[in-house]
Structure 1
Amino acid sequence: MVSMSSSHTMQYIGLLLLAAILLQTIAVAVTFIYFSNVLSTMKETFSKSSVSCLMRANLRTLKGQELNAAEGKDDPCWQVTQQLHFLIEKSMSSRYQKEISSAVKDEVSRVLPSLVIQDQDDSPRPKIAAHVTGSYIPEKDGGGQPNRKVYGQKIQSWESEKGLAFLQNVELSDGELVVPQAGLYYIYSQTYFRHTLIEEDESDREEEDGTSGESVRGKPMLQYVYKKVSSYPVPILLMKNARTTCWSRDMEYGLYSIYQAGLFQLGGGDRVFVTVSNVSTVDMDEKSSFFGAFLVS
């Protein structure tokens, strides 16, 4: 009896262990299947969400409604997309700036080989430039009279404020441009000559001087550009240009323009001015006669 009871007990315990193992196996299998499905669903959802982020689909709709600014900023996908767009724009902008800067440097170097362009890291230079134009204001007393130290007559009636004229960190004093600091400057000047030929004046000249009208017509026109420095008592000639023309007898006046320009080293406080052979023959229209300079480097 005791042995039979013991045998039944062992069988009962074995069945319990087998049932426990079977239940544990089923639980593990169910758990594995469940988590596999959950991971698969999360992976698919994440994949779709990433694509929609890049396509900005989720930024347009939220539960069938358009996103406002506040809701968009709270959306992590919106933030990631904005950062991605910002990085792309920054990269493209930097690339285009380098290409444009290189192209501009090449073009300027081709036109002005002596021009040295500073890098962007250098401290910016002040803008120094001036463009003065002709003015019909009468010359001051003594203005335009010949000076024994220079050739020709100085033009004093320049306009510095109206119309096309301007001064930027440059002064205009007594017809002279005063530069504030040392550097390489581009200086240019144009004068427009209008020489009136009146028969009565020609007759008077012929009677007084015994010359013909042809010699008056053939008289040269000259333009000079000078600079004045404090360390030298006499103005220094920078540029000179001359033209000789023979106008027709049938014309009441003759027209001709002289233009010249160049790069020159100037010091702080140096003055630049223009003289011509006869200031009374210059047409002081702002688009015809002008004078200017600007700092290059």
Structure 2
Amino acid sequence: MAARSTKRQDSECSTAPLAEEVYERKGSCASHCALVVLCSVLTVVCAGLCAGLAVMWVYLGQQLEDLRNAYEKLELTGLGGEQVNITAAVDEAVRLFLEDEQKADRTHVGPPLQTGWSSGSSKPMAHLTGNPRQNIKKHHGEVKLRSWESEQGLATLANGMKYRGGNIVIPADGLYYIYSQLSYRFLNENPFENPKEDANIFQLIHYTYKQSSYPEPQMIMKSSRSTCWSKRTEFGLYTSFQGGVFRLEKGDKVSVSVSNPQMICFEESSSFFGAFMI
């Protein structure tokens, strides 16, 4: 009896580890199969999303291309009943606008001001320079300078400012800085002839005028000097500059007058006249 009982215990002890090993193998196989299935499902989902995005991209590209072609072919009926292509009409309008801008830049009058214009980056301005080609006769009294250069060289007119007959014409109400410079040059053709005679005495007077609705122009600046040059002096130089801020109205005219205009050096960098809104 004791020997039989011992054999049964040995048999039960030998079969227990085998059952545990089979159970562990079944659990590992099930986990592996689940992981494979999950990866397969994710792969299918990603492939589906990529395919959907690709199809949507192609569809949107085709729609944009169709819209572009439709816009280029779109035509409207003009006033005369003819068909007008929008793209061609826009291109032609841009071309005409650029041509008009180039023509305006070549003229000596600035472009007109817009309605209600007050101030900004495009303020009226004018800078006139001396014209060496003008022939001024000898004159001791007051003479209005009428031959300023307004187009060539350093001269500039912009943003509605105009020049007419020696006058700067103001295009809009506002405060303006007005300035002018005159360079006088005395030349003695015979410095050693009759040295005992009296010296050359000149009154050099420089005026700036404003003309508005009043019948007579109003003097707004003046500078003067009596200059005495010896008979033995070959040449003499003198420069007069004026500048000031004035309230002007649309249509006002500003001009410069001088005495002894035949003595003025009309080089563009020596004598000039201008105004600009501030």
Looking at structure 1, the residues matched to 138 and 155 of structure 2 have their Cα atoms a distance apart, in angstroms, of 21
After superposition, give the CA deviation of every residue in 1:46-91 in whole Å (9 maximum; x if it has no partner): xxxxxxxxxxxxxxxxxxxxxxxxxxxxxxxxxxxxxxxxxxxxxx
Q: Could you tell me which residue of structure 2 aligns to residue 259 of structure 1?
A: 241
Root mean square deviation of aligned Cα: 2.9
Q: Could you tell me which residue of structure 1 aligns to residue 189 of structure 2?
A: 198
Q: Could you tell me which residue of structure 1 aligns to residue 164 of structure 2?
A: 173
Residue 123 and residue 182 in structure 1: after superposition, are their counterparts in 2 closer, same or farther (change >3 A)? closer
Q: Could you tell me which residue of structure 2 aligns to residue 136 of structure 1?
A: 132
Cα displacement (A) at 1:220: 1.6
After superposition, give the CA deviation of every residue in 1:236-255 in whole Å (9 maximum; x if it has no partner): 00000012222243322211
Residue 123 and residue 285 in structure 1: after superposition, are their counterparts in 2 closer, same or farther (change >3 A)? closer
Alignment equivalent of 2:142, drawn from 137, 142, 152:
152
SS at match of 2:262: helix
Matched, 1:189 2:180: yes
Larger Rg: 2
Residue 256 and residue 123 in structure 1: after superposition, are their counterparts in 2 closer, same or farther (change >3 A)? closer
Cα displacement (A) at 1:163: 1.4
Looking at structure 1, the residues matched to 119 and 266 of structure 2 have their Cα atoms a distance apart, in angstroms, of 39
Contiguous gaps of at least 5 residues in structure 1: 1-121, 204-211
Q: Could you tell me which residue of structure 1 aligns to residue 45 of structure 2?
A: none
Letter in 2 for 1:224: Y
Alignment equivalent of 2:210, drawn from 217, 227, 243:
227
Identity %: 42
Cα displacement (A) at 1:183: 0.8
Residue 145 and residue 170 in structure 1: after superposition, are their counterparts in 2 closer, same or farther (change >3 A)? farther
Letter in 2 for 1:134: G
Looking at structure 1, the residues matched to 267 and 241 of structure 2 have their Cα atoms a distance apart, in angstroms, of 15
Cα displacement (A) at 1:295: 0.4
Give the aligned length.
160
* Contact kept in structure 2, 1:145 and 1:154, CA below 8 Å: no
Q: TM-score, with normalisation over the residues of structure 1?
A: 0.49
SS at match of 1:127: coil
Q: TM-score, with normalisation over the residues of structure 2?
A: 0.52
SS at match of 2:229: coil
Matched, 1:242 2:224: yes
Higher strand share: 2
* Contact kept in structure 2, 1:243 and 1:258, CA below 8 Å: no
Q: Could you tell me which residue of structure 1 aligns to residue 268 of structure 2?
A: 286
Looking at structure 2, the residues matched to 157 and 290 of structure 1 have their Cα atoms a distance apart, in angstroms, of 11
Cα displacement (A) at 1:125: 6.2
Letter in 2 for 1:158: W
Looking at structure 2, the residues matched to 144 and 292 of structure 1 have their Cα atoms a distance apart, in angstroms, of 25
